[in-house]
A and B are shown apart, each in its own frame.
Chain A
């Protein structure tokens, strides 16, 4: 089986293998297998705490290294000027396998530690320096602002005198005078506190001070324009300069205390103007010195970061891989006496030779002579499901996997979805123009996929990119159905000779006359614009939906058969598949045949009226055996319908009873042979003790791994009955509702056609045939508008809606007919996922 050509029809055949890995090569082996990405390791010590496992020490070391690397990357991210980071595919790989692996890791560890300590030291000094700079800058601001303030006060003093002299000054200038008075007295007996405070806290500060001092203060403050940037976190803070005048040592002490506890910084400012300008000069000089030093430190730090940036990605990669390797090694069973690690895992049977090669390669690489030994185990455990996909089938498979992972070796609906999915989509999206738009969009993504795959496209675009092959097929199929509907942006293509001519016979209406031509492909363009166009198209699309739906469902039902044959369940064929098939075909298969038959008859020549097929189907149930001769489709219709109805009626009890009956007979047979079922109470412990015994006898090298918990499903008779009852009801009702559900094909396709027609008439149609320059400009503007709306509403929104409905038809209507979906996905150890965002 394993040499079969890989197919998507069934999941890969898997084998449970056991690996005996000598400790020396364990690391390299896992590294090699991780590169290969083909082995899913099982946890052999599920009962051991994470920190009690064998390789905790190594993991811890890697964690520490990872922390350092994370520290570097956050530092680089916070740096304002972008530090170049060399991408992974560009940097020299760090070899962590082979005899020099341990040394490489040690060296890496040392390098990281060195870089970290250097960076931390630089950060510290940088921070200290910028702290001092900030203080100086603040001091300078305080000096300047207070200087402005004092100068103003100085100026006012002159005014005060003059105002005192002028006795005729109006008393109502109270405000002004008080201001002058308080500022005038500044110089003489009020003392003050000056400093800076965070702008957000200013109002609180002011309020608290006012309350603490009961209003006995005069406070002035101005904004500092430039924000202060914290060098480490990069956060910006805005500050204010304040100066507070108060009287008395006690009050000043209080102000100082409050200011300090509110996080303000106080600066000693002298009341003397000369001293102030002296200190301003001094501060400026010191600031200049400091800034030079700061600049040097900053550039040093930056060059260090640039150096780190060169190899950051490589380090990240190594650290990630090493962590994965040791975490995997922790899953292994560690045999101290024999110095080997024992691993168990699932591998695709086909790849065993590749894995053998990889193992040998790992041995050579590490320079030892003891190769790891691999051998297959027989098991009753259900293997994981592994569909080998390529970039084309991946998207389709994902659609089915998100419904449920297929059971092991079950027929995989993902294979058929490759065609049915785009087809059902296109039935709802039939338009040549829109089809071409999405086809070319997908084509663009496919042609540039090498480039696009490397770029992070964001969540939404990333999804479109992931489904690019689905979109491609959807576009192609839409073009096809668009040709069938003869619909291009709500217009028609007139390629061949139309079957209808419209001679002008009457003044206000034109009646089409058949001219003997037959339009060879798709809808006759003559229908376009006819009054009864909608009636005709609706009837046609509705019937087509039913036909397609029944075919799709029948096909899905047939997919049961290979499953039953593969898993050797003949009873299911007789008790499930055949009655279901008969039930479906005798009602809806018959309907489809009637539809096709009705289409094939030229009713203008026939003796009877064309019958309504819906009424026919309803009457088939309500009055079996009686068909109105006026509405008869064919001779003998009544008899055929009675037979079909009886067939369908028989299927229900058949479906309901057969399987439980066989199950019951089976049980009787076993009991008749004298077997008694063993109570679960003593069954389970016996098995497990066997396992323990076996383990003790053979060390850990047992050839057969059996898990007694799974595998043996409970054959409870009651359960079978209930399950079958539910199944029967679900199927019979499902047949009816699912058939009706396929009418969405018609509904959506109608909605799409109407919407595109509305868009055409509302925008572009009125501006066609421009006569003036204004008309041309209008045409261009409206044309652009029409195109944008076409892309966004008709292609994107309608496309998503049609996609959703196609999805539903696959998940609900088709999958419920055959798909078990009870498997679990194959999750191999692989390094291939370079997801750098942790």
Chain B
């Protein structure tokens, strides 16, 4: 049925986003980029891709931050184009994508204010897609209650914050808890919205969001080892969606070490690879260095998995998943570009291959 009427409202935008997707850098582009000697080469090489002359008006020398900023700007422009042309329910779906960035920005601002950074500097560092107009006022709040009452109540994020209202003062741990609670609420809400859309959108987004939820669950578990966070509190932060839910989540809530996490992940065949060659490091878990490398390895694998899932979203037509997937893929691409540019700038040739290829 959606095949019949989908194109009436969203066909153009789906075509547009698929066209954008055609501009995502491929393996050969990356191969060329990694051969660059300087950032100027990098710029020349990028000008042959869909990025075009986005750096042409930058005076030399170029910094990696400029590259990342300009690339993000392109993505933001594309997103805004899509958003401006979208109608319900796609426009709502696209709004949901921005909520994620909004949460990040809110947390960034609160944390920054807590550490007494300059507000303007913080606002510049915020993701442009997650900016809302009352955002700067966040810096006056000193606890969540106040935060909610003064600023967030009129933003779309309000329902997510309602669950974690407490008059307790904001400190680093509390902010982390707030972040995870809010994100959990966001993921669940987004998921239920996608389910309400039904059809292929629900299917595709279910896959992607389930993974996202599981990733958060695993990350929260691993990061909460040896902290003051109690197990009950931890269990509250787990999103109630995902493939690990509910048994896996229950077990993770009780886990004390990485090995237990691994056992839980064994339960899902796709997640087995995350810990496949981790045992060597968990065997002598005394070496903190190796444990952290295992964690960063895990992070990389998560990214690989994410890219894989998002690529799969493009295999199905007549659904909104492509918009979400495109944003995520493009973000990954910007991370890759920044990584390569950083490696070139710092002359760290041996690590230049550590990006995550998309196509």
Tell me the A residues contacting B by CB distance below 8 Å.
49-52, 56, 60, 63-64, 67, 70-71, 201, 204, 207-208, 211-212, 254, 257-258, 260-263
Bound Cα distance A63, B55 (Å): 11
Contact with A along B44-85 (1 / 0, CB 8 A): 110010000000110110000000000000000000000000
A49 partner residues in chain B, CB cutoff 8 A: 32, 35, 45
Is B260 in contact with chain A by the CB < 8 A criterion? Answer: no
Contact A261 B137 (CB under 8 A): yes
Bound Cα distance A262, B149 (Å): 18
Supplied contacts A71-B57, A261-B119, 20 more A-B pairs, CB within 8 Å: A49-B32, A49-B45, A50-B45, A51-B45, A52-B35, A56-B44, A64-B60, A67-B56, A67-B59, A70-B56, A201-B133, A208-B134, A208-B137, A208-B150, A212-B137, A212-B150, A257-B139, A261-B136, A261-B137, A263-B136
A-B contact pairs, 27 of them (CB 8 A): A49-B32, A49-B45, A50-B48, A51-B36, A51-B41, A52-B35, A56-B44, A60-B40, A60-B44, A64-B60, A67-B56, A67-B59, A201-B133, A204-B133, A204-B134, A207-B154, A208-B137, A208-B150, A211-B150, A257-B139, A258-B140, A261-B119, A261-B123, A261-B137, A261-B139, A262-B136, A263-B136
Q: How many residues of B contact A (CB 8 A)?
A: 26
B35 partner residues in chain A, CB cutoff 8 A: 49, 52
Tell me how far the C-beta of A212 lies from the nearest C-beta in chain B, rounded to whole angstroms. 4
Contact with A along B257-272 (1 / 0, CB 8 A): 0000000000000000
Closest to A208 in B: B137
Tell me the B residues contacting A by CB distance below 8 Å.
32, 35-36, 40-41, 44-45, 48, 56-57, 59-60, 119-120, 123, 133-134, 136-137, 139-140, 149-151, 153-154
B139 partner residues in chain A, CB cutoff 8 A: 257, 261
Bound Cα distance A201, B134 (Å): 9
Number of A-B residue pairs at CB separation under 8 A: 55
Bound Cα distance A201, B136 (Å): 11
Tell me how far the C-beta of A114 lies from the nearest C-beta in chain B, rounded to whole angstroms. 15
Contact A50 B150 (CB under 8 A): no
B40 partner residues in chain A, CB cutoff 8 A: 60
Tell me how far the C-beta of B19 lies from the nearest C-beta in chain A, rounded to whole angstroms. 23
Bound Cα distance A56, B151 (Å): 53
A208 partner residues in chain B, CB cutoff 8 A: 134, 137, 150-151
B60 partner residues in chain A, CB cutoff 8 A: 64
Bound Cα distance A262, B135 (Å): 8
A263 partner residues in chain B, CB cutoff 8 A: 136
Bound Cα distance A67, B48 (Å): 17
Contact A50 B137 (CB under 8 A): no
A211 partner residues in chain B, CB cutoff 8 A: 149-151, 153
Closest to A213 in B: B150
- Looking at A50, A208, A254, A257, the one whose CB has the most chain B CB atoms below 10 A away is A208
Bound Cα distance A17, B134 (Å): 68
Across the A-B interface, give the 8 residue pairs with the lowest CB-CB distance, nearest first.
A261-B136, A51-B41, A261-B119, A208-B137, A212-B150, A51-B44, A211-B150, A204-B133
Closest to B123 in A: A261
- Looking at A211, A254, A263, the one whose CB has the most chain B CB atoms below 10 A away is A211
Bound Cα distance A21, B42 (Å): 31
Tell me how far the C-beta of A749 lies from the nearest C-beta in chain B, rounded to whole angstroms. 40
Tell me how far the C-beta of B192 lies from the nearest C-beta in chain A, rounded to whole angstroms. 29
Closest to B53 in A: A838
Tell me how far the C-beta of B21 lies from the nearest C-beta in chain A, rounded to whole angstroms. 24
B45 partner residues in chain A, CB cutoff 8 A: 49-51
- Looking at B56, B123, B140, the one whose CB has the most chain A CB atoms below 10 A away is B140
Tell me how far the C-beta of B138 lies from the nearest C-beta in chain A, rounded to whole angstroms. 8
Tell me how far the C-beta of B69 lies from the nearest C-beta in chain A, rounded to whole angstroms. 18
Closest to A74 in B: B57
Bound Cα distance A183, B59 (Å): 55
Tell me how far the C-beta of B169 lies from the nearest C-beta in chain A, rounded to whole angstroms. 16
Bound Cα distance A261, B171 (Å): 21
Tell me how far the C-beta of B46 lies from the nearest C-beta in chain A, rounded to whole angstroms. 10
If the complex has contacts A49-B45, A50-B45, are A212 and B140 also in contact, measured as CB distance less than 8 A? yes
Contact A257 B140 (CB under 8 A): yes
Closest to B57 in A: A67
A51 partner residues in chain B, CB cutoff 8 A: 36, 41, 44-45
Bound Cα distance A261, B48 (Å): 41
Closest to A53 in B: B44
Tell me how far the C-beta of B126 lies from the nearest C-beta in chain A, rounded to whole angstroms. 12
Bound Cα distance A208, B36 (Å): 50
Bound Cα distance A228, B56 (Å): 30
Bound Cα distance A71, B48 (Å): 22
Tell me how far the C-beta of A245 lies from the nearest C-beta in chain B, rounded to whole angstroms. 18
Closest to A49 in B: B32
Tell me how far the C-beta of A260 lies from the nearest C-beta in chain B, rounded to whole angstroms. 7
A70 partner residues in chain B, CB cutoff 8 A: 56-57
Bound Cα distance A201, B133 (Å): 8
